[in-house]
């Protein structure tokens, strides 16, 4: 029988985490950290788990520790931004994602997440830029197309918004939000045409 490695423990912890067995996952993450206190991924995932159970202060602390150890883990930046959003700290979330984008300018996910936050902040022009960058990096990013459509609609560019929604739907045919937003944009265009 081969000895259990930290890697094996992490895989089992991830399995528990994905299956919703959070207590078991947390126990394993903590065991890993007892063996390797600077294990960036265990810190990150422990932070994600803390966020899932509403312990956002702990989540922030653990994920920030993870980033301090491995500043190139883009998933940790996304997780930290998600925690900040849950705390209502949208500007902090945007700052986190901008830092991530500087470290990894080829991450469509980072730009997509940044675009969503900017959209929520009503910084529509900045959101459009971030979402276009995400799409440039990943032309099959349906969520980015849908969010781009929303940002374009907010700036009055309804025809462009329709094009973005069409692309989102083509990529993800059952994308209810994109279908809904497409219909709303069509209705708004019709109302404008009737003026």
Question: Whole-model pTM?
Answer: 0.87
User: pLDDT confidence of 4, banded at 50, 70, 90?
Assistant: confident
Sorted by where each starts, the structural domains of the chain and their CATH numbers stand as: 1-104 (1.25.40.10), 123-195 (1.25.40.10)
Q: How confident is the model at residue 32 (pLDDT cuts 50, 70, 90)?
A: very high
* Rounded Cα distance, 159 and 189, in Å: 8
The pLDDT assigned to 122 comes to 98
| CA pair distance 179, 183, nearest whole angstrom | 6
The separation between CA 140 and the C-alpha centre of its own chain, rounded to angstroms, equals 16
Per-residue model confidence (pLDDT) at position 3: 56
Angle between helices 158-171 and 176-193 (to 10 degrees): 150
101 sits in the region (left: phi over 0; alpha: psi -120 to 50; else beta) called alpha
- Answer yes or no: is pLDDT of 48 > 80: yes
pLDDT at 64 over 90: yes
The pLDDT of residue 190 is 85
In this model, does residue 98 exceed pLDDT 90? yes
Between 2 and 147, name the one with better pLDDT.
147
Reply yes or no on whether the pLDDT at 78 is more than 90.
yes
Q: Over pLDDT 90: what percentage of the chain?
A: 94
């Amino acid at each position: 029988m081969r000895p259990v490695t930290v890697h094996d423990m992490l895989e089992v912890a991830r399995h528990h985490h994905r299956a919703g067995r959070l207590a078991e996952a947390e126990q394993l993450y903590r065991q890993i950290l007892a063996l390797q206190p600077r294990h960036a991924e265990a810190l990150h995932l422990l932070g994600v788990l803390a966020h899932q159970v509403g312990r956002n202060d702990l989540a922030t602390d653990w994920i920030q520790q993870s980033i301090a150890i491995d500043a190139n883990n883009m998933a940790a930046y996304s997780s930290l931004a998600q925690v900040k959003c849950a705390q209502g700290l949208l500007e902090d979330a945007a700052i986190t994602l901008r830092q991530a984008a500087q470290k990894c300018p080829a991450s469509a996910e980072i730009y997509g997440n940044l675009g969503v936050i900017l959209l929520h902040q009503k910084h529509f022009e900045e959101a459009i830029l971030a979402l276009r960058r995400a799409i440039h990096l990943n032309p099959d990013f349906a969520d980015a197309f849908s969010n781009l459509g929303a940002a374009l609609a907010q700036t009055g560019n309804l025809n462009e918004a329709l094009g973005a929604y069409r692309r989102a739907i083509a990529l993800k045919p059952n994308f209810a939000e994109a279908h809904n937003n497409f219909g709303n944009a069509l209705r708004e265009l019709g109302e404008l045409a009737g003026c």
